[in-house]
């Protein structure tokens, strides 16, 4: 309880300071140079098209952040996810547009700094961040980073953005998805319509399938609640750091949403191949809820 009180106090102080600082911030830039930081969710792994010879198959057109829907996507019948990239063009026009995918499948908080350096190199004006799933999803519980390790990794990344992004750029940090809610869908899911997903998840015992800390069949409910607790703790750290940086950086805007954690996926919104990543329709919903709770929510096209 004492720790929670301290955390609330720090966040409240940061928010109050941020309210005063906001009056003196540089004008916010248009989000025309999009650079997305993240992991396999940002890359839209197995969202719509699968490859039996490559179980990690990026579907970038279906990314909630960087997705696109041009002639070939229309011709091939691919889902239009109405990504942040598409919404930016619709609301701000195509002039000076750039769309950079920094996210890499398997990335975790240790990769934040290198990815964010790429955002700096691209002189991004809008940096959505959805990272931390692979910190929670480990083969064993002892592999999950400590709070201090996770915080240090996030700070290293945010420091790079603060030092190098154009003045007026926006950093939009989204909470780690609630992995436990995805686990709860297991009994309703099948891979390729043939194999029950809990059967596939049993491969975590051989470290073939990721996220043994949540999906292993040998886990107790207490084990899964421990993992969910780490999920929540990391999100609290993200939220506190966003408030801190926004309060102390007059040149950039930092915003946080927990809509990604709160969202309840349905079975059709989970990959029909790997039973774990968002499907194309799930990516479409991620785009919707994160845009609606994000820094440019007043732009509704």
Inform me whether the pLDDT recorded for 270 exceeds 70: yes
Inform me whether the pLDDT recorded for 2 exceeds 60: no
Reported confidence tier of residue 5, pLDDT bands at 50, 70, 90:
very low
As a whole-number percent, the residues of the chain with pLDDT over 90 amount to 79
Reported confidence tier of residue 11, pLDDT bands at 50, 70, 90:
low
- Between 209 and 100, name the one with better pLDDT: 100
What's the whole-number average pLDDT of the chain?
92
Which two three-digit tokens encode residue 25? 């911030």
DSSP 8-state class, residue 278: B
Distance CA 294, CA 259 (A): 10
Model pLDDT, residue 195: 82
- The residues spanned by each domain of the chain are 15-292
**42, 130 contact by CB (below 8 A):** yes
Model pLDDT, residue 6: 46
Q: Is the pTM of this model over 0.75?
A: yes
CATH for 15-292, among 3.40.50.1980, 3.40.50.150, 1.10.110.30, 3.40.50.1110? 3.40.50.1110
Reported confidence tier of residue 208, pLDDT bands at 50, 70, 90:
confident
H or E element, residue 17: helix 2-22
Distance CA 262, CA 149 (A): 25
Alpha helices (H) along 249-279: 259-262
DSSP 8-state class, residue 78: -
**What pLDDT digit, counting tens, does each position of 150-182 carry?**
999 999 999 999 999 999 999 999 999 999 999
Mean predicted confidence (pLDDT) in 241-266:
97
């Amino acid at each position: 309880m004492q720790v929670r009180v301290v955390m609330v106090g720090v966040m409240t102080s940061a928010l109050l300071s941020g309210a005063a600082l906001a009056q003196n911030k540089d004008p916010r830039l248009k989000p025309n140079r999009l650079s997305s930081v993240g992991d396999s969710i940002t890359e839209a792994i197995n969202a719509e098209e699968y490859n039996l010879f490559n179980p990690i198959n990026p579907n970038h057109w279906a990314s909630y952040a960087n997705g696109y829907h041009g002639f070939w996507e229309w011709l091939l019948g691919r889902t239009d996810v109405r990504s942040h990239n598409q919404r930016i063009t619709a609301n701000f026009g195509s002039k000076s547009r750039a769309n950079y995918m920094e996210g890499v499948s398997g990335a975790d908080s240790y990769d934040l700094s290198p990815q964010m350096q790429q955002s700096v190199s691209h002189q991004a004006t809008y940096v959505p961040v959805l990272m931390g799933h692979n910190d929670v999803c480990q083969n064993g519980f002892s592999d999950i980073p400590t709070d201090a390790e996770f915080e240090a990794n996030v700070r290293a990344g945010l420091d790079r953005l603060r030092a190098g992004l154009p003045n007026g750029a926006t950093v939009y940090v989204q909470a780690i998805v609630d992995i436990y809610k995805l686990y709860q869908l297991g009994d309703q899911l099948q891979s390729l319509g043939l194999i029950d997903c809990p059967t596939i998840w049993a491969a975590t015992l051989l470290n073939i399938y990721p996220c043994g800390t949540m999906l292993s069949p040998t886990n107790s409910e207490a084990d899964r609640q421990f993992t969910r607790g780490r999920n929540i703790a990391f999100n609290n750290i993200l939220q506190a750091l966003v408030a801190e940086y926004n309060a102390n950086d007059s040149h950039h805007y930092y915003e946080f949403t927990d809509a990604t954690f709160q969202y309840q996926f349905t079975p059709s919104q989970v990959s029909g191949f790997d039973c774990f990543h968002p499907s194309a329709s799930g990516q479409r919903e991620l785009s919707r809820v994160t845009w609606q709770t994000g820094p440019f929510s007043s732009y509704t096209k």
